[in-house]
Amino acid sequence: MRSIARWVVAGLRRYRPDRNPLRRRSDRIEAGLVAAVLVAVLLAVWPAVLAARAAYGGGHAAAGPGARHLVEATLTGGATASAADAHVLLGATAARWPLPDGGVREGMVPAALLLRDGPRARLWIDGEGRPVTPPPHRAEMTARAGLAAFGVMAGALALAAAGLVLARRRLDRARYQAWDAAWADADQRWRRHRI
């Protein structure tokens, strides 16, 4: 914990604005860039919150009333298997289920969508009576919202850090050129000239 505190204090000392005559113009520019990066990352919190709300709200709307209905389905035939790929077999079962408007529909239902309980099963359907996946659980919606917020913050941090690295590289290149020029000037002034 102390090493983190020391690192923060050292960073504050390095980038704080002061009237130190040894600070170059490039040092002040770098301090301003670091402050701008911190502000940009802090401003990215609001878009992250909006992304999390949109992700959570999208899952909540899909799980909301009227979007999906849980109905009792009657299995009318045996399961058939179809190879979706070489490793997984997906089954489909003939079933009959009631529609929201009071009618009845019969058809093949993927076995993954049926919640079996003996000869009867429960099935999630949409407003038109088609079988759909179950609504997401609250934990899943929360996880999606958290991932959306983390993605926005990580993207903002990556962009800000990349910009800071590129700017620092350019500032360092200018510092090294100024340092070389100063040494060359000192070499010319301090060198003993021989005749």
* pTM given for the model: 0.62
- The reply to whether 58 and 144 lie within a common domain is yes
Does residue 13 form part of some domain? no
- The reply to whether 127 and 76 lie within a common domain is yes
Q: How many domains does the chain have?
A: 2
By CB atoms closer than 10 A (0-12, 13-18, 19+), residue 59 is buried
Q: Check: CB of residue 74 under 8 Å from CB of residue 84.
A: no
Residue 47's domain comprises 27-64+137-185
Does residue 79 form part of some domain? yes
Helix (DSSP H) and strand (DSSP E) numbers for the chain: 4, 5
- The reply to whether 53 and 142 lie within a common domain is yes
Does residue 89 form part of some domain? yes
Query: What is the chain's pLDDT, residue by residue, as a tens digit (195 residues)?
Result: 678 888 877 777 777 777 777 788 888 888 899 989 999 999 999 999 999 999 888 765 555 555 677 888 877 766 554 444 333 345 787 888 888 887 888 888 887 777 776 666 888 888 788 888 888 888 888 999 999 999 999 999 999 999 999 999 999 999 999 899 989 998 888 887 666
Give ∠ CA 98-103-107 in degrees, rounded to 5.
60
Nearest to 180 by CA among 192, 169, 172: 172
- The reply to whether 180 and 93 lie within a common domain is no
Indicate the SS3 state at residue 49: helix
- The reply to whether 144 and 123 lie within a common domain is no
Indicate the SS3 state at residue 102: coil
Does residue 2 form part of some domain? no
Beta carbons within 8 Å of 157's beta carbon, 6+ residues apart: 41, 44
Does residue 172 form part of some domain? yes
